[in-house]
Amino acid sequence: MHRPRPEMPLIEEPRPVTLTYTPEQIERLFTRTDGSYAFARWGRPIAPIVFGVEDATLITVKSAVEAVATLAGHQMAETDPELGANLMVFFFRDWTELLAVPDLDRMIPDLATLVGKLSNAQASQYRAFRFDDQGAIQAAFVFLCMDRDLVKIPAETLALTQAVQTIVLWGDQAFAETSPLAVLPDTGATILRPEIAGVIAAAYDRMMPPSADDASHALRLFARLQAPAGSGDAKPE
């Protein structure tokens, strides 16, 4: 029987963020703790698969990924011709459960060592990426250990957070102090912050590269955030 799709997560239209983000703030979104700049976006349609949840949560996660991909103007797919699925989201109760997932150790190098580190650190989540020869995202893996804190987060909020954090490669401290989401005071609804939506949309501009390791990339993102809507046909920089 066909099940009705849940409402798409609330994502406001990107708008100029001159008063919110400076080029330096955008640069920090893609700067690692070692000071290096690293950006990547998806280079192929996103084909998600979710493990360890009921159908309702699976639909919620896929709807969140679709909403963020739509914002970015990026395609979704039922399957990836090379990998089957290229965005894999795992929900579980204990990190050691990952050791029993067939072939996961072939996709995640040194899986046993990683599981040990994450377990000892009492981590609740971890994301890993694979890249193609152009540096674009080829696959992403999201691991969510549902501890007592994570289980308190509504499924819609958790799904939208992970969709945002896998649509591009962010710096490892990008959201350490401020969540990419916000709560509307009038309704209590959780939305993607407009300035983050703007950065995502700018990153997927057709004139932007699929990956970058130079901070001048942040200046190009900033320029697109200031540009009026419909100016994406500007000449290449």
Task: Fill in the amino acid letter for 124.
Answer: S
pLDDT at residue 2 above 50? no
The 10 Å CB-count burial string (b at 16+, else e) for 65-77 is bbbbbebbebeee
pLDDT of residue 158: 96
Pair type for strands 211-212 and 87-92: unpaired
Q: Which residue has the higher pLDDT, 4 or 150?
A: 150
pLDDT at residue 10 above 60? no
For the chain, the domains span 10-226
pLDDT of residue 20: 66
pLDDT of residue 9: 53
User: pLDDT for 203-222, tens place per residue?
Assistant: 999 999 999 999 999 999 99
Counting residues of the chain whose pLDDT is more than 70, the rounded percentage is 87
Average pLDDT score over the chain: 89
pLDDT of residue 128: 96
Counting residues of the chain whose pLDDT is more than 90, the rounded percentage is 81
Task: Fill in the amino acid letter for 131.
Answer: F
User: pLDDT for 113-144, tens place per residue?
Assistant: 999 999 999 999 999 999 999 999 999 999 99
User: pLDDT for 139-176, tens place per residue?
Assistant: 999 999 999 899 999 999 999 999 999 999 999 999 99
Least confident window among 44-53, 86-95, 181-190: 181-190
| Average confidence (pLDDT) over 8-20 | 48
The residue whose two tokens read 């798409």 is 8
How far the first Cα of the chain sits from its last, in Å, is 51
Token pair in block for residue 11: 């994502």
Which whole-number Å values give the CA distances from 49 to 14, 41, 43, 84, 90, in the listed order? 28, 19, 18, 9, 9
pLDDT of residue 188: 85
Task: Fill in the amino acid letter for 15.
Answer: R
User: pLDDT for 38-50, tens place per residue?
Assistant: 999 999 999 999 9
Pair type for strands 190-192 and 181-183: antiparallel
